[in-house]
Amino acid sequence: MKKVIVAPEYNFLRDYIEDIPGRFHTIGTVLHAKRNIIREDCVKGTRLVIKSFGGIYLPNRIRYTYFYPSKAQRAFENAKILLQKGFNTPRPIAYIEITWNGLIDQMYFICEFTDFQPLNVIIGTSTEKILPLLLEIAHHTFRLHQNNIYHIDYSSGNILFRKNNNKYELALIDNNRMKFGSITFEKGIRNFVRLELSDEHMTLIVKEYSRLWSVDEMIGIRHLFRYKRIHV
């Protein structure tokens, strides 16, 4: 059985989307091929990205079929929430679930392509060159948390950026693991642990984030490095 949900504004792509499971490995070009496979294609003037979720083991197949929304559904719905709240993320187009022997067996998420770069390209860059970007990361994270949005996979590969008129814009991807609800200062600091930036860059971000909370910056820094030790 095949479940296909398409955002109404992208119904003109429905025929193409319906065919994705049967020809996924031959369409477009590969952007990423590890556990998950990501391909890019252009259809009817729309440049899109198609993600096939791999490694769906039996416990998760049962979980996603009966108890919890699938990764593809959550990626689609969470992207809509981000956009509604004014945050950048590639526009969600559709998601697909394939059920075999009564359990979800394949999942696909389709979104528009974005030309933002992943944050990990700044690793090793001098602080002086990217100070405005580091400060924007702090402000962006603060705005997310004030809107009760907690991105669990908040890593340097899942935060994208673009410079526009001397200002930095950020966007989020891999949105299937997010929580919504009140976020404390300490929990907010913990969200930075997976960024994989240098200690100097992380310290600047956390100082600014603490300032936005009106909390002493040294408290934020102590929390950060305590959580980093736990994470390692």
pLDDT in tens, 154-178: 999 999 999 988 899 999 999 999 9
Q: The pTM is what?
A: 0.93
State mean pLDDT over 135-141: 98
Question: For residues 215 and 162, what is the distance between their CA atoms, to the nearest angstrom?
Answer: 29
Q: Is 108 exposed, middle or buried (0-12, 13-18, 19+ CB in 10 A)?
A: buried
H-helix or E-strand spanning residue 77 = helix 71-84
Residues above pLDDT 90, as percent of the chain: 87
Q: Is 128 exposed, middle or buried (0-12, 13-18, 19+ CB in 10 A)?
A: exposed
Residue-wise pLDDT for 54-63, tens only, equals: 878 888 888 8
Question: For residues 50 and 36, what is the distance between their CA atoms, to the nearest angstrom?
Answer: 10
Closest CA to 95 of 72, 74, 77, 69: 72
**Taking 90 as the threshold, does the pLDDT of residue 232 lie above it?**
no
Residue-wise pLDDT for 180-204, tens only, equals: 999 999 999 999 999 989 999 999 9
pLDDT of residue 57: 85
What does each C-alpha distance from 179 to 62, 154, 187 come to in angstroms? 21, 12, 12
How far does Cα 29 stand from its chain's mean position? Answer: 21
H helix runs in 109-161, sequence order: 127-146
**Taking 70 as the threshold, does the pLDDT of residue 84 lie above it?**
yes
Half-sphere exposure of 202 (CA within 13 A, CB side): 23
Residue-wise pLDDT for 13-30, tens only, equals: 999 999 999 999 999 999
